[in-house]
């Protein structure tokens, strides 16, 4: 049975009044501010007001190492939320806001898909309530104050060659990656080299995602390091007198946005930190509200369990103090086949047709990756559930292989057809997740705050990625030493590594062994609260293809939007 297009399903879905969706979460109207039709912002007062209500079970949805196409993690998150609600366990879904740049670049939104979407998807994918733009504004206000400081005499003694704060825009624009600013005359600023990242990669975004409230946000923003003096001393946003205005610019953006799924399940959509160099997880404050607004919270962690889930556990949960009750590992037949190493999948090109042939053996070969990602949940004491995200081209024999491996590993497993069937298709998965979450939580962080930065890096590399060890460039070593001296040693680690392999080499499939993790460079997001070692080339500003999604988006003769995903 063919599933209609996302936009078709979205436009035909019957939405509940959003205040009713909020009401079902126990949110009174004094906590709500409507933002256009079918979207509301929720006051952070809700955290305290709901605190006495029972705590929900907290479920994180991650995945095996994905192909470049993604394996439907958002769709599964939404579908599972709908499925839990259907089996009588009202759930709240918590996901990231889409980054507009990529949404207009490679065709595809970030609102889920098929009958497991968050609506209104046009809003979710474009602007929403302007949070992304507020992050851009706060980030660039700080940048303007940095360059203005240089221009007006540089009292703080910033080394112009050691300014780490770049600028951001929510657009795919490769020409802005490396730029020279301050050209022209003396009145046009100080000339120096810098660049733009995409807004999702802004430390302000990561900070907003990890903060627990407005005061905390104010303090974190003040701690942001924009660069160093000639003596190597960090210079902060506080020293530049920028943290106050940045906080004020973010005072609406800190409030989570309430939308709903196409089955009217509440969906909090809030923050979208980049998965490459930041946490790739939606906001702490959204989860803190959701955790007392239903029986289950289903949230997504970007990329595979080695990346998003590891950061969810060791950064997001460390910050929020919340312990997850179950961890879903989304797997697809096609991705497991690809992990056999026999198929090449390239984004934007047709899939190799032999990928669709019935071939349980290739699934079994590729399942090494699944095993490792299940282990990665266990490593943190979290009950794993394998969610097989069903595609029409799958074969029953292939599912059987996955089910057997899960059983062998002691993990629950279910096939989920939420894309084609919505929550009804995710009912079996929902039951499995509910069982797993009913077990007493054994959650544990992978490393203590007190471990040294290299110890933390090596723990993640060897235990989560399966590396033999870690090597550091001289530059990386020097940075680690700088950060230790500056007092950043207690921060957790956010590894910037390819998401296309458990290793740092995107071409290595399955569960690679016999390799070491090369750390090329180390940076610190002191405001957000993590240190990020960079292993390999990390793009922080995407480019547009020759035929981008943007070129197909338009209005029709009735003024309706067309061509959107």
In the window 140-179, what residues touch its own copies (CB under 8 A)? 140-141, 143-145, 147-148, 151-153, 169-179
Identity of the residue, 165 or 312, whose beta carbon is nearer to its own copies in the bound complex: 165
Q: Which of residues 107-126 bind its own copies (CB under 8 A)?
A: 126
Interaction between residue 100 and its own copies (CB under 8 A): yes
| Euclidean distance between CA atoms 527 and 89, whole angstroms | 37
Contact 64/283 with Cβ under 8 angstroms?
A: no
Instruction: Quote the least distance from Cβ 555 to its own copies, whole Å.
Output: 5
Q: Which of residues 40-59 bind its own copies (CB under 8 A)?
A: 41
Residue 77 burial by CB count (10 A; 0-12/13-18/19+): exposed, middle or buried?
buried
Measured in degrees and rounded to the nearest 5, phi and psi for residue 488 equal -95, 5
Interface with its own copies (CB under 8 A), residue from 248, 347, 438, 478 = 248
Interaction between residue 190 and its own copies (CB under 8 A): yes
Interaction between residue 3 and its own copies (CB under 8 A): no
Beta-strand pair 412-416/116-119: unpaired
Instruction: Quote the least distance from Cβ 143 to its own copies, whole Å.
Output: 7
Interaction between residue 486 and its own copies (CB under 8 A): no
Which range binds its own copies by CB under 8 A, 109-117, 240-248, 261-269, 420-428? 240-248
How big is the site for its own copies, counted in residues (CB under 8 A)?
A: 75
Interface with its own copies (CB under 8 A), residue from 1, 88, 187, 474 = 187
Q: Which of residues 212-231 bind its own copies (CB under 8 A)?
A: 214-215, 218
Identity of the residue, 79 or 542, whose beta carbon is nearer to its own copies in the bound complex: 542
Interface with its own copies (CB under 8 A), residue from 251, 344, 400, 485 = 251
Torsion region of 393: left, alpha or beta (phi above 0 gives left; psi -120 to 50 gives alpha):
alpha
Take residue 500 and report the two structure tokens written for it. 């296309």
Question: Which residues touch 176 (CB under 8 Å, ≥6 apart)?
Answer: 169, 195, 196, 541
* Long-range contacts formed by 434-438: CB under 8 A, 24+ apart: 434/57, 434/84, 434/87, 434/89, 434/296, 436/325, 436/326, 436/383, 436/384, 436/385, 436/412, 437/57, 437/58, 437/59, 437/296, 437/325, 437/326, 437/383, 438/57
Which range binds its own copies by CB under 8 A, 31-39, 52-60, 290-298, 419-427? 31-39
Interaction between residue 381 and its own copies (CB under 8 A): no
Which one-letter DSSP state was computed for residue 96? P
Which one-letter DSSP state was computed for residue 5? P
Which one-letter DSSP state was computed for residue 444? -
Which range binds its own copies by CB under 8 A, 246-254, 450-458, 478-486, 513-521? 246-254
Interaction between residue 181 and its own copies (CB under 8 A): yes
Identity of the residue, 52 or 556, whose beta carbon is nearer to its own copies in the bound complex: 556
Interaction between residue 245 and its own copies (CB under 8 A): yes
Which range binds its own copies by CB under 8 A, 5-13, 237-245, 428-436, 442-450? 237-245
Interaction between residue 347 and its own copies (CB under 8 A): no
CA angle 298, 83, 113 (to 5 degrees): 75
Instruction: Quote the least distance from Cβ 97 to its own copies, whole Å.
Output: 13
| Euclidean distance between CA atoms 103 and 113, whole angstroms | 14
316 annotated to a ligand binding site = no
Beta-strand pair 384-389/412-416: parallel
68 annotated to a ligand binding site = yes
Interaction between residue 559 and its own copies (CB under 8 A): yes
Give the residue numbers of the binding site for ATP.
67-74
């Amino acid at each position: 049975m063919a599933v209609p297009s996302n936009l078709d399903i979205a436009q035909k879905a019957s939405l509940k009044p959003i205040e009713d969706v909020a009401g079902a979460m126990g949110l009174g109207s004094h906590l709500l501010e409507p933002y256009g039709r079918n979207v509301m912002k929720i006051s952070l007062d809700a955290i305290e007001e709901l605190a006495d209500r029972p705590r929900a079970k907290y479920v994180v949805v991650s995945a095996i190492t994905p192909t470049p196409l993604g394996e439907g993690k958002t769709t599964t998150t939404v579908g599972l939320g709908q499925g839990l609600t259907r089996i009588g366990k009202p759930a709240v879904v918590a996901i990231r806001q889409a980054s507009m740049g990529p949404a207009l670049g490679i065709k595809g939104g970030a609102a889920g898909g098929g009958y497991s979407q968050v609506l209104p998807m046009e809003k979710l994918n474009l602007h929403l309530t302007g949070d992304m733009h507020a992050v851009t504004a706060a980030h660039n206000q700080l940048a303007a104050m940095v360059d203005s400081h240089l221009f007006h005499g540089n009292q703080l003694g910033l080394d112009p060659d050691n300014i780490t704060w770049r600028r951001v825009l929510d657009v795919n624009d490769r020409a802005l990656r490396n730029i020279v600013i301050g050209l022209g005359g003396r009145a046009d600023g100080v000339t120096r080299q810098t660049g733009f990242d995409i807004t999702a990669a802004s430390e302000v975004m990561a900070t907003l995602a990890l903060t627990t409230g407005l005061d905390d946000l104010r303090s974190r923003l003040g701690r942001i390091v924009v660069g160093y003096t000639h003596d190597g001393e960090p210079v902060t946003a506080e020293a530049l007198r920028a943290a106050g205005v940045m906080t004020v610019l973010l005072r609406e953006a800190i409030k989570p946005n309430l939308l709903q799924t196409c089955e009217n399940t509440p969906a909090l959509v809030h923050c979208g930190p980049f998965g490459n160099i930041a946490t790739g997880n939606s906001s702490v404050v959204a989860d803190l509200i959701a955790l007392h607004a239903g029986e289950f919270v289903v949230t997504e962690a970007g990329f595979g369990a080695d990346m998003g889930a590891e950061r969810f556990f060791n950064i997001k949960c460390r910050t929020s103090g919340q312990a997850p009750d179950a961890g879903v590992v989304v797997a697809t037949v096609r991705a497991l086949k690809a992990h056999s190493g026999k198929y090449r999948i390239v984004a934007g090109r047709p899939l190799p047709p032999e990928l669709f042939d019935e071939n349980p053996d290739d699934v079994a070969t590729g399942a090494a990756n699944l095993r490792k990602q299940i282990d990665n949940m266990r490593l943190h004491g979290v009950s794993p559930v394998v969610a097989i995200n069903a595609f029409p081209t799958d074969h029953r024999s292939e599912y059987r292989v996955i089910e057997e491996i899960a059983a062998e590993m002691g993990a629950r497993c279910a096939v989920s057809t939420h894309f084609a069937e919505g929550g009804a298709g995710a009912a079996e998965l929902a039951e499995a997740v509910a069982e797993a979450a009913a077990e007493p939580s054994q959650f544990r962080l992978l490393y203590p705050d007190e471990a040294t930065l290299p110890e933390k890096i090596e723990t993640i590399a060897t235990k989560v990625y399966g590396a033999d060890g870690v090597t550091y460039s001289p530059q990386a070593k020097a940075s680690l030493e700088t950060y230790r001296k500056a007092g950043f040693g207690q921060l957790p680690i956010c590894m910037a590594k390819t998401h296309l392999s458990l290793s740092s080499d995107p071409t290595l499939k399955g569960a690679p062994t016999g390799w070491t993790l090369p750390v090329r460079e180390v940076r610190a997001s002191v405001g957000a609260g993590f240190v990020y070692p960079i292993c390999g080339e990390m793009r922080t500003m995407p480019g547009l293809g020759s035929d981008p999604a943007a070129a197909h988006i338009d209005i029709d003769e009735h003024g309706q939007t067309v061509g959107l995903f």
